[in-house]
Structure 1
Amino acid sequence: MIGNMRAVVVGADRLGNIPVLLKDHNIEIKQHISGRDPSHQKKTYQLPTGTQMVILLTDFLGHNVMKSFRSAAQKAGVPVVACRRSLCSMQQALTQSGFSCADCPQRHKAGKGN
């Protein structure tokens, strides 16, 4: 992939080390939305221009907020990755969605024919 994929991350007040993990996957955070704003619960949300992916941190989001952002992503035609706010969960969700890490050992092993 040339350049970084721009993502909107929804959920959690703090992201901890998640931005570092996303950077390893060539994903930059365009915007982080905690999802706590009451307006997110009642209105249809539009994604910022240039959003290429939505990441939902499910253990910090209510059902209505998740539904609103999934709908916005579907309308924009961008993929949604949903996972808990932990590095292991994020890594697994990204891998299952086809976003492999640029520096992952598994990727290098596969390339060497082992």
Structure 2
Amino acid sequence: MSSILVIGGDRLGNIIELLQGQGFKDIHHVTGRKSSQTGVKIPAGIHMILVLTDFVNHNLAKTVKSQAKDRELPIVFCKRSCSAIAKAFDLTA
């Protein structure tokens, strides 16, 4: 099974079940709300990153995108809704 890092959103709610249905066993979440979280470091063992664009600031998204590129990790940007996430995974699969 894979690990995913979700950035953005205060709570994930049904998104957790959706991600588990996509095969992600370990789901790590960073809200991105606190200014101290702009320096987020991607934990070891992460296989993919999901950025919820309507809940993160531009600097955090840029930092995470750069880290993902350096580590050659797939990254998906989409809005915080199950339908948007499902569509994004269909496009990247």
Please report the TM-score for the alignment, with normalisation by the length of structure 2. 0.92
Residue of structure 1 in register with 2:32 after alignment: 35
Partners of 1:83 and 1:60 in 2: CA distance = 10
From 49, 56, 61, the counterpart of 2:56: 61
8 Å Cα contact 1:19/1:29 also seen in 2 = no
* 1:1-114 pair list within 5 angstroms: 4-41=1-38, 43=39, 45-98=40-93
Q: How large is the Cα RMSD of the aligned pairs? A: 1.2
The SS at the match of 1:46 is: coil
Structure 1 segments, 4+ long, off by >6 Å, are none
Q: Larger relative contact order (C-alpha < 8 A, sep ≥ 6)?
A: 2
Letter aligned with residue 76 of structure 1:
R
Higher Cα Rg: structure 1 or 2? Answer: 1
Structure 2 residue ranges without an equivalent (≥5): none
Give TM-score scaled by structure 1 length: 0.76
| Number of aligned positions between the proteins | 93
